[in-house]
C-alpha cells in the first residue's frame, strides 16, 4: 500500500486537519515535558481506577467528540445553505454525515452520560467506588481507544460513508469497497466492549453496594435511571456485538450473512441493528430523565412528585423500547398487521413519557423555583422535548410515516429528542455536579449566555426542518436545486447551527474562565442538595465517605439537614480503615493492544490483528494472576484528609 | 374520515410558516396521499392540544413559583404525589393514543388495497426497479420500459411492484403518496394513483451511496387516451432493450431518460435473483473493489 493510499490526500480541508492534529500532538508532548507532567499523567489518570477520575475522563472525551461531531454538522450546514453548492462533494458529504451520526450517539451522548454516572452513582448510594473498579477502567479505555480508532479514519484510510445505520448491501464489500466501513465495525466493536462492561458493573454496584437502609425505593432517581439503563445495555449491546461481528466476517473473511450473493439476508441487518438501536436511544434518554429529576427537584426545593410513578414509567419505557424496532422501517413492506402492531406499541411509549412530564411539572408546582444555569437546561428540556415527543407520535403512525420516512421531518424529530433530551441533560448535569468534583462552580453569567445561544440556535436550526420534510426534502442528500423550494428554510437552519456553535464556544470558554477565576467553594453542598453526594466535601476525597452513612428515607441528606445531623465531625464518629483498590496499568495497555488489533483488521493486515489479539489475551492472563489485593487507608490518614477537606467549612 | 374541517386553516398556517415554498406532502394529487394528509392533520390537531396543555401549565407554574423578590423565603411543602392527578394524566394520553391508533390502523389496511374511488378499474401494473442510481419502469402488459421517467394514466390505480438491482432504495412520489423500499431479492407492492393530470417529482428516498442525490425521476400523469397514445408511440418507435444494453445500464452512474419497446423482465426479475447485478458487473469486467475506493 502506497503512502498516499494510507493517508487521505487531495482535500484541503482534511490536509488542514492533518496538520492541526500533528501540531496538537507536538503541543501536548511539549507541555507535558516542559512542566514534567508525564509521571503525574501516568499515576493520576492513565492508570487510575477511581470512578470520579474515570468519569472526568469520560466527560472530557465526550466534549471533544461533541466538538468533532459539531464540526461535522457545521460542514454539512455550510454545504446545504446554498442550492447546488460544491463545498463538499457527495462522497465527502456522506462520510461526514456518517461520522457525525456515529460519533454523536456512540462517542458523545453515551460516554457523556456514562461519565456523569461514574461520578455520581457511587456517591448517591453511599459507596466508596463501583463494584469492579478495575473493570471500570477497562470500560473507559476500550471506549476511548474504539473512539480514537473510528476518529482517525478521516485522515488515515478514509471514513465510512454508508450512514450511521450502515444498511447492507450498501455497506457490504460488494458495493462499498474500501476500508472506511471496517473502521465503523471495529471502532464500534471495541468501544461496545466498554459499554457492556459498564452496564454490568453499574448494575452490580447499584444492587450490591447501597448504603445500609437504602432500599430500592429509596434510591435517588438518577440512580434508578442508571440501573434501568444498565439493564437495557445488558440486553441490547450483545445484539450489536453479534451484528457487527457478522458484518465483519462478511467483509473480512468472505462470509454471507448480509450479502447479495449466496443467499445473504440484507434485511436481517436492519432488524438486528434496530433491535439494538431502539433500546440504544433509550440508553441515552433514560439517564437524562434521571438528571432532570434531580435538578428539578433540588432547584424547586421539593421532593420529586410521584416518585413511584417515575420509577414505574421508566421501567415501562424500557420494556416497550424492545418491542418497537420495526417503526424504523415501516416502509419495508411488512404486512398491515405488523405495521399496526408496531405503530401502537410505539404510540404507547408516549403514555409513560407523558406521566413523567407532568410529574416534573408538579414537582415545580408550589415549589420555589431557583433559576440558574443547571435549572435553565432542565426547564428548556420540557417544552422542547414535548415538541420532539409529539412529532415522534406523528411518526409512529405507520400510514403517515410513509410520507415522513427518510425526510427532514424525521431528522428534525430525532434531533429534537436527542438534543433537548440528552444534550440538555448533559449540560444540566455538568453544571449541577461540576462543583462536586472540582470544588468550584461554573460561571453563571457565561453559562446563561451559552444556554440562550444554544437553545435559541437549536430551535432556529431544527424547527424549520419539519417543514423541509413536508416540502419533500429527503435526508442525506448533499445538495438540492433552486426549483426545489428548500433554499429559504435551509438558510434559516444554518443560521441556527451557527448560534449553537457560538453557544458551545462560550461553554468551553466558561470552563476555562471558571477554572481560573471562580471562587473556591467552602462547602460540599453548594445547591442545598437532597441526596448523599452533597454530604461529602468538594472535591470529594478519593475514598468518598469517611464513614458510610445510614439511610432512613428518600432524599437522605435533606432529612439529615432538617434533623440537624448533617454536620460531620471527624472526632465524633468512629472510623475504620478503608479498603481501596490499587491503580493498574493493565486496562490502558490492554486497550492499546485492542487498538492495534483493530487497526490491523481495518486494513486487513492479519499479522497485526493477531499480534494485537494475542497481546490482549496476555494482559488478561496477567490480570488473572495478579495477587494485588489493594491497600488500606488508616484511620489517622482519613482523619487528616477529612480535617483538611472540611476545615474550609468552618 | 372527515377530520379535515381544520385542514384548510392548518395548511394556510403551515404554508405561512414555511415561507413561500410549497409543501408537496400536504398538497396531494391522489387518494393515497390524500388519506395520509388527513391522518397527518388529525395527528397535528391532537398533538397541538397536547403541546398547548403542557406549555400553558409550564408557563403558569414557572411564572407563579419562580423565586423572585418577595417570593424567596417560602419553604415549600413536600408532596408525595396525587392519585387523581396521576390518573388523569395517564388516562387522557391513553384516550389520545386510541384516537390516533384507530384511524392509523384503518389507513394502514386501506393503503394495502387499490383506492376506493376507482375500484371498478383494473390496476395498471408497473415494475419499478432501482439500480445505482437510476430507475427502470417496466410495463409488462404494454411490453415497454422507461428509464428515469414514468408515464401513468390519471384516475386509475397503479400497482407498483418494487425491487432493486443492488442497494436498498425507496420509491417516493410525495404528491401521490408515501414511499416504500426497493430491495434486491424481494418484491414489495404499493398502490398509487393520480387524480389529475400533471408532472410530479419522484425520487429515491433511501440513501444508496455516491449518486443518491440525483437519483430522481419525473412522473407524467396523463388522461387515458393520451397515455394510450404514448404507449403506442413508444412501442412503435423505441428500440428493444437487449440484455447487453441492460447490463451496461446496471453499472453505477447516472443516465439520461430512455425508452424501450421491451422490458428487462425477459432477462431477469431482480426480486427473484439478487445476484444478477454482481454477475453482470463481472461479465463486463467492472470491479467495485477498485472503483469504489478513493
ipTM of the modeled complex: 0.92
Are B206 and A406 a contacting pair at CB < 8 A?
A: yes
Are A167 and B23 a contacting pair at CB < 8 A?
A: no
Are A476 and B207 a contacting pair at CB < 8 A?
A: yes
Residue numbers in A near B185 (CB within 8 A): 260, 266
Our count of domains for chain A comes to 2
The C-alpha atoms of residue B288 and residue A624 are separated, in whole angstroms, by 46
Residue A329 lies in a domain: yes
Place of cell 457490504: A172
Low-confidence ranges of chain A (pLDDT < 50): 649-650
Name which of B18, B166, B10, B266 is nearest A408 in CA terms: B18
Based on the fold, state whether residues A17 and A127 are members of the same structural domain: no
Residue numbers in A near B208 (CB within 8 A): 170
Task: Tell whether A478 is within 8 A of chain B (Cβ).
Answer: yes
Residue numbers in A near B85 (CB within 8 A): 358, 362
Please answer whether residues B256 and B148 qualify as being in contact, where contact means their C-beta atoms are separated by less than 8 angstroms.
yes
SS3 category, B259: strand
Name which of B164, B274, B278 is nearest A175 in CA terms: B278
Are A365 and B61 a contacting pair at CB < 8 A?
A: yes
Grid cell for residue A648: 474550609
Mean pLDDT, chain B, whole residue set: 91
Name which of B159, B160, B158, B180 is nearest B169 in CA terms: B180
Residue numbers in B near A262 (CB within 8 A): 275
Residue numbers in A near B289 (CB within 8 A): 173, 177
Place of cell 444556554: A451
The whole-number pLDDT of residue A650 equals 44
Q: Which fold has domain B122-292?
A: Immunoglobulin-like (2.60.40)
Task: Tell whether A471 is within 8 A of chain B (Cβ).
Answer: yes
Based on the fold, state whether residues A130 and A27 are members of the same structural domain: no
Are B19 and A357 a contacting pair at CB < 8 A?
A: no
Based on the fold, state whether residues A22 and A144 are members of the same structural domain: no
Are A90 and B210 a contacting pair at CB < 8 A?
A: yes
Based on the fold, state whether residues A74 and A114 are members of the same structural domain: yes
Place of cell 371498478: B120
Are B178 and A331 a contacting pair at CB < 8 A?
A: yes
Could you tell me whether strands B216-222 and B198-204 are parallel, antiparallel, or unpaired per DSSP bridges?
A: antiparallel
Query: Which of A5, A175, A298 is the best mutation test for B, with the most CBs of B within 10 A?
Result: A175
CATH code, domain carrying A234: 1.20.210.10
Q: What is the pLDDT of residues B192-216, one digit of tens each?
A: 999 999 999 999 999 999 999 999 9
Place of cell 396523463: B222
The whole-number pLDDT of residue B146 equals 97
Question: Taking CA atoms, what residue in B is nearest to A177?
Answer: B289
A331: nearest CB among B17, B50, B170? B170
Residue numbers in A near B51 (CB within 8 A): 386-387, 390
Residue numbers in B near A369 (CB within 8 A): 61-62, 65-67
The whole-number pLDDT of residue B293 equals 43
Whether pLDDT at B6 is above 70: no
The C-alpha atoms of residue A427 and residue A416 are separated, in whole angstroms, by 15
The whole-number pLDDT of residue A10 equals 74
Name which of B34, B4, B17 is nearest A403 in CA terms: B34
* A&B contacts, CB < 8 Å: 303
Instruction: Tell me the nearest-neighbour CA distance from A577 into chain B, angstroms.
Output: 38
Task: Tell whether A639 is within 8 A of chain B (Cβ).
Answer: no
SS3 category, A86: coil
The whole-number pLDDT of residue B21 equals 45
Query: Which of A300, A397, A404 is the best mutation test for B, with the most CBs of B within 10 A?
Result: A397
Task: Tell whether A167 is within 8 A of chain B (Cβ).
Answer: yes
Q: pLDDT-derived band of residue B233, with 50, 70 and 90 as boundaries?
A: very high
The C-alpha atoms of residue A190 and residue A183 are separated, in whole angstroms, by 11
Residue numbers in B near A370 (CB within 8 A): 67
Are A301 and B109 a contacting pair at CB < 8 A?
A: no
Instruction: Tell me the nearest-neighbour CA distance from B67 into chain A, angstroms.
Output: 5
Are A177 and B289 a contacting pair at CB < 8 A?
A: yes
Based on the fold, state whether residues A383 and A435 are members of the same structural domain: yes
Q: Is the dihedral of CA A530, A536, A542, A545 positive or negative?
A: negative
Q: pLDDT-derived band of residue B52, with 50, 70 and 90 as boundaries?
A: very high
B89: nearest CB among A354, A401, A489? A354
Whether pLDDT at B72 is above 90: no
The whole-number pLDDT of residue B58 equals 97
Instruction: Tell me the nearest-neighbour CA distance from B33 into chain A, angstroms.
Output: 8
Residue numbers in B near A464 (CB within 8 A): 18
Residue A608 lies in a domain: no
- Please give the angle made by the CA atoms of B258, B263 and B265, to the nearest 5 degrees: 135
Domain boundaries, chain B: 8-110, 122-292
Sheet holding B158-164, edge to edge: B188-192, B158-164, B124-131, B134-139, B144-147, B258-260
Contacts of A68 (CB under 8 A, 6+ apart): A99, A103, A151
Instruction: Tell me the nearest-neighbour CA distance from B78 into chain A, angstroms.
Output: 6
Contacts of A457 (CB under 8 A, 6+ apart): A495, A496, A497, A498, A499, A500, A501, A502, A503
Are A175 and B24 a contacting pair at CB < 8 A?
A: no
Residue A623 lies in a domain: no
Task: Tell whether A175 is within 8 A of chain B (Cβ).
Answer: yes
The whole-number pLDDT of residue A561 equals 92
The whole-number pLDDT of residue A24 equals 86
A73-82, B11-20, B24-33, B91-100: segment of lowest average pLDDT? B11-20
Are A366 and B201 a contacting pair at CB < 8 A?
A: no
Are B67 and A369 a contacting pair at CB < 8 A?
A: yes
A397: nearest CB among B39, B206, B289? B39
Q: Which long-range contacts (CB under 8 A, 24 or more apart) does A64-70 make?
A: A65/A103, A65/A104, A65/A107, A65/A108, A65/A111, A65/A147, A65/A151, A66/A104, A66/A108, A66/A112, A66/A504, A67/A504, A68/A99, A68/A103, A68/A151, A69/A99, A69/A100, A69/A103, A69/A104, A69/A107, A69/A108, A70/A500, A70/A501, A70/A504
Instruction: Tell me the nearest-neighbour CA distance from B153 into chain A, angstroms.
Output: 22
The whole-number pLDDT of residue A646 equals 82
Q: What is the pLDDT of residues B149-194, one digit of tens each?
A: 999 999 999 999 999 999 999 999 999 999 999 999 999 999 999 9
Instruction: Tell me the nearest-neighbour CA distance from B240 into chain A, angstroms.
Output: 28
Based on the fold, state whether residues A347 and A447 are members of the same structural domain: yes
The C-alpha atoms of residue A632 and residue A578 are separated, in whole angstroms, by 5
Name which of A526, A357, A354, A387 is nearest A455 in CA terms: A387
Domain that holds residue A247: 49-584+628-646
By CB neighbour count within 10 A (0-12 exposed, 13-18 middle, 19+ buried), where does A265 fall?
middle
Residue numbers in B near A393 (CB within 8 A): 43, 47, 100
Based on the fold, state whether residues A299 and A383 are members of the same structural domain: yes
Task: Tell whether A326 is within 8 A of chain B (Cβ).
Answer: no
The whole-number pLDDT of residue A13 equals 79
Residue A313 lies in a domain: yes
Residue A187 lies in a domain: yes
The whole-number pLDDT of residue B73 equals 85
Residue A2 lies in a domain: no
The C-alpha atoms of residue A36 and residue A39 are separated, in whole angstroms, by 7
Based on the fold, state whether residues A93 and A219 are members of the same structural domain: yes
Please answer whether residues A394 and B47 qualify as being in contact, where contact means their C-beta atoms are separated by less than 8 angstroms.
yes
Residue numbers in B near A474 (CB within 8 A): 172, 203, 205
Whether pLDDT at B294 is above 80: no
B8-110: what CATH class? Answer: mainly alpha
Question: Mean of the pLDDT values across residues B63-74?
Answer: 91
Based on the fold, state whether residues A190 and A234 are members of the same structural domain: yes
Based on the fold, state whether residues A26 and A133 are members of the same structural domain: no
The whole-number pLDDT of residue A16 equals 82
The whole-number pLDDT of residue A20 equals 83
The C-alpha atoms of residue A329 and residue B279 are separated, in whole angstroms, by 29
Q: What is the pLDDT of residues B246-289, one digit of tens each?
A: 999 999 999 999 999 999 999 999 999 999 999 999 999 998 77
Are A471 and B86 a contacting pair at CB < 8 A?
A: no
- Please give the angle made by the CA atoms of A176, A179 and A184, to the nearest 5 degrees: 90
Are A343 and B105 a contacting pair at CB < 8 A?
A: yes
Residue numbers in B near A261 (CB within 8 A): 274-275, 278
Residue A594 lies in a domain: no
Are B108 and A340 a contacting pair at CB < 8 A?
A: yes
Grid cell for residue A54: 474515570
Q: How many CB atoms lie within 10 A of CB A558?
A: 21
Does the bond joining A563 to the residue before it have cis omega, within 30 degrees of 0? Answer: no
Instruction: Tell me the nearest-neighbour CA distance from B218 into chain A, angstroms.
Output: 13
Based on the fold, state whether residues A189 and A312 are members of the same structural domain: yes
**Which one-letter DSSP state was computed for residue B122?**
P
Please answer whether residues A312 and B90 qualify as being in contact, where contact means their C-beta atoms are separated by less than 8 angstroms.
no
Q: Which residues share a beta bridge with B136? A: B129, B147
Residue numbers in B near A162 (CB within 8 A): 207, 209
Based on the fold, state whether residues A142 and A21 are members of the same structural domain: no
SS3 category, B246: helix
Residue A25 lies in a domain: yes
| Phi-psi map region of B115: left, alpha, beta (phi>0 left; psi -120 to 50 alpha) | beta
Torsion angle of C-alpha atoms B88, B93, B99, B102, degrees rounded to 10: -120
Question: Taking CA atoms, what residue in B is nearest to A466?
Answer: B18
Are B62 and A391 a contacting pair at CB < 8 A?
A: no
A266: nearest CB among B183, B207, B289? B183
Whether pLDDT at B8 is above 90: no
Name which of A134, A338, A117, A82 is nearest A223 in CA terms: A117
Amino acid at each position: 500500500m502506497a503512502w498516499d493510499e494510507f493517508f487521505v490526500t487531495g482535500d484541503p480541508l482534511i490536509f488542514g486537519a492533518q496538520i492541526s492534529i500533528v501540531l496538537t500532538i507536538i503541543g501536548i508532548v511539549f507541555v507535558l515535558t516542559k512542566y514534567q507532567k508525564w509521571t503525574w499523567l501516568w499515576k493520576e489518570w492513565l492508570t487510575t481506577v477511581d470512578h470520579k477520575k474515570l468519569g472526568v475522563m469520560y466527560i472530557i472525551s465526550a466534549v471533544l467528540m461533541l466538538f468533532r461531531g459539531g464540526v461535522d454538522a457545521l460542514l454539512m450546514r455550510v454545504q446545504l445553505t446554498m442550492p447546488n453548492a460544491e463545498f463538499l462533494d457527495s462522497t465527502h458529504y456522506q462520510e461526514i454525515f456518517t461520522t457525525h451520526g456515529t460519533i454523536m450517539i456512540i462517542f458523545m451522548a453515551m460516554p457523556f452520560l456514562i461519565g456523569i454516572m461514574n461520578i455520581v452513582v457511587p456517591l448517591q448510594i453511599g459507596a466508596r467506588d463501583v463494584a469492579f473498579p478495575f473493570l471500570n477502567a477497562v470500560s473507559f479505555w476500550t471506549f476511548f481507544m474504539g473512539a480514537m480508532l473510528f476518529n482517525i479514519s478521516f485522515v488515515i484510510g478514509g471514513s465510512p460513508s454508508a450512514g450511521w445505520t450502515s444498511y447492507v448491501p450498501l455497506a457490504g464489500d460488494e458495493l462499498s469497497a474500501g476500508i472506511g466501513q471496517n473502521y465503523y465495525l471495529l471502532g464500534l466493536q471495541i468501544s461496545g466492549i466498554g459499554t457492556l462492561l459498564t452496564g454490568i458493573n453499574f448494575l452490580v454496584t447499584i444492587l450490591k453496594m447501597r448504603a445500609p437502609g437504602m432500599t430500592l425505593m429509596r434510591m435517588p432517581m438518577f440512580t434508578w435511571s442508571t440501573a434501568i439503563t444498565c439493564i437495557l445495555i445488558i440486553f441490547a449491546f450483545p445484539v450489536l456485538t453479534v451484528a457487527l461481528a457478522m458484518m465483519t466476517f462478511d467483509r473480512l473473511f468472505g462470509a454471507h450473512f448480509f450479502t447479495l450473493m449466496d443467499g445473504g439476508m440484507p434485511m436481517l441487518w436492519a432488524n438486528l441493528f434496530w433491535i439494538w438501536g431502539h433500546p440504544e436511544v433509550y440508553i441515552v434518554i433514560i439517564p437524562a430523565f434521571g438528571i432532570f429529576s434531580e435538578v428539578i427537584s433540588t432547584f424547586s426545593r421539593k421532593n420529586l412528585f410521584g416518585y413511584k410513578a417515575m420509577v414505574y414509567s421508566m421501567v415501562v419505557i424500557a420494556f416497550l423500547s424492545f418491542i418497537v424496532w420495526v417503526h424504523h422501517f415501516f416502509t419495508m413492506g411488512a404486512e398491515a398487521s405488523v405495521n399496526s402492531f408496531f405503530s401502537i406499541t410505539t404510540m404507547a411509549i408516549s403514555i409513560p413519557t407523558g406521566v413523567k412530564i407532568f410529574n416534573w411539572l408538579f414537582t415545580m408546582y408550589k415549589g420555589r423555583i431557583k433559576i440558574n444555569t443547571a435549572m435553565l437546561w432542565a426547564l428548556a428540556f420540557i417544552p422542547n422535548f414535548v415538541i420532539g415527543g409529539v412529532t415522534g407520535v406523528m411518526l409512529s403512525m405507520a400510514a403517515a410515516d410513509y410520507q415522513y420516512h427518510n425526510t427532514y421531518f424525521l431528522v428534525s424529530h430525532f434531533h429534537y429528542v436527542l438534543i433537548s433530551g440528552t444534550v440538555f441533560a448533559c449540560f444540566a448535569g455538568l453544571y449541577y455536579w461540576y462543583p462536586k468534583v472540582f470544588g468550584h462552580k461554573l460561571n453563571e453569567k457565561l453559562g446563561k449566555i451559552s444556554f440562550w445561544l444554544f437553545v435559541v440556535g437549536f430551535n432556529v436550526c431544527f424547527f424549520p426542518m419539519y417543514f423541509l420534510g413536508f416540502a419533500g426534502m429527503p435526508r442525506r442528500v448533499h445538495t438540492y436545486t433552486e426549483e426545489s423550494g428548500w433554499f429559504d428554510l435551509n438558510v434559516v437552519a444554518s443560521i441556527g447551527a451557527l448560534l449553537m456553535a457560538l453557544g458551545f464556544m462560550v461553554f468551553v470558554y466558561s470552563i476555562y474562565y471558571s477554572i481560573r477565576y471562580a471562587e473556591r467553594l467552602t462547602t460540599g453542598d453548594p445547591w442545598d442538595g437532597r441526596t448523599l453526594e452533597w454530604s461529602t466535601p468538594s472535591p470529594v476525597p478519593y475514598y468518598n465517605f469517611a464513614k458510610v452513612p445510614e439511610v432512613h428515607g428518600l432524599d437522605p441528606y435533606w432529612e439529615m439537614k432538617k434533623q440537624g445531623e448533617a454536620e460531620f465531625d471527624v472526632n465524633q464518629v468512629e472510623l475504620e480503615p478503608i479498603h481501596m483498590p490499587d491503580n493498574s496499568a493493565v486496562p490502558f495497555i490492554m486497550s492499546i493492544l485492542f487498538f492495534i488489533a483493530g487497526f490491523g483488521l481495518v486494513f486487513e493486515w492479519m499479522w497485526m490483528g493477531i499480534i494485537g489479539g494475542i497481546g490482549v489475551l496476555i494482559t488478561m492472563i496477567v490480570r488473572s494472576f495478579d495477587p494485588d489485593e489493594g491497600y488500606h487507608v488508616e484511620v489517622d490518614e482519613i482523619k487528616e484528609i477529612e480535617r483538611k477537606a472540611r476545615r474550609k467549612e468552618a | 374520515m372527515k377530520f379535515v374541517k381544520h385542514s384548510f386553516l392548518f395548511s394556510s398556517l403551515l404554508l405561512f410558516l414555511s415561507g413561500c415554498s410549497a409543501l408537496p406532502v400536504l398538497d396531494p394529487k391522489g387518494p393515497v396521499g390524500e388519506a395520509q394528509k388527513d391522518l397527518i392533520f388529525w395527528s397535528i390537531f391532537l398533538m397541538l392540544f397536547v403541546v398547548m396543555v403542557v406549555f400553558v401549565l409550564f408557563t403558569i407554574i414557572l411564572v407563579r413559583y419562580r423565586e423572585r423578590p418577595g417570593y424567596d423565603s417560602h419553604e415549600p411543602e413536600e408532596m408525595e404525589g396525587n392519585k387523581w392527578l396521576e390518573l388523569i394524566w395517564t388516562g387522557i394520553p391513553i384516550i389520545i393514543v386510541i384516537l390516533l391508533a384507530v384511524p392509523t390502523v384503518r389507513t394502514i389496511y386501506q393503503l394495502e388495497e387499490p383506492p376506493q374511488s376507482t375500484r371498478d378499474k383494473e390496476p395498471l401494473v408497473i415494475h419499478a426497479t432501482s439500480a445505482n442510481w437510476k430507475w427502470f419502469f417496466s410495463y409488462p402488459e404494454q411490453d415497454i420500459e422507461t428509464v428515469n421517467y414514468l408515464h401513468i394514466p390519471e384516475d386509475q390505480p397503479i400497482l407498483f411492484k418494487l425491487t432493486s438491482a443492488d442497494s436498498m432504495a425507496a420509491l417516493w412520489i410525495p404528491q401521490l403518496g408515501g414511499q416504500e423500499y426497493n430491495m434486491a431479492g424481494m418484491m414489495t407492492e404499493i398502490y398509487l394513483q393520480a387524480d389529475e393530470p400533471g408532472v410530479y417529482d419522484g425520487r429515491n428516498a433511501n440513501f444508496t451511496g455516491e449518486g443518491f442525490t440525483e437519483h430522481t425521476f419525473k412522473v407524467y400523469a396523463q388522461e387515458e387516451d393520451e397515455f394510450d397514445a404514448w404507449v403506442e408511440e413508444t412501442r412503435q418507435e423505441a428500440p428493444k432493450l437487449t440484455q447487453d444494453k441492460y447490463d451496461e445500464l446496471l453499472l453505477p452512474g447516472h443516465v439520461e431518460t430512455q425508452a424501450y419497446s421491451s422490458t428487462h423482465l425477459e432477462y431477469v426479475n431482480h426480486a427473484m435473483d439478487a445476484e444478477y447485478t454482481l454477475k453482470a458487473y463481472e461479465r463486463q469486467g467492472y470491479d467495485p473493489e477498485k472503483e469504489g475506493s478513493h
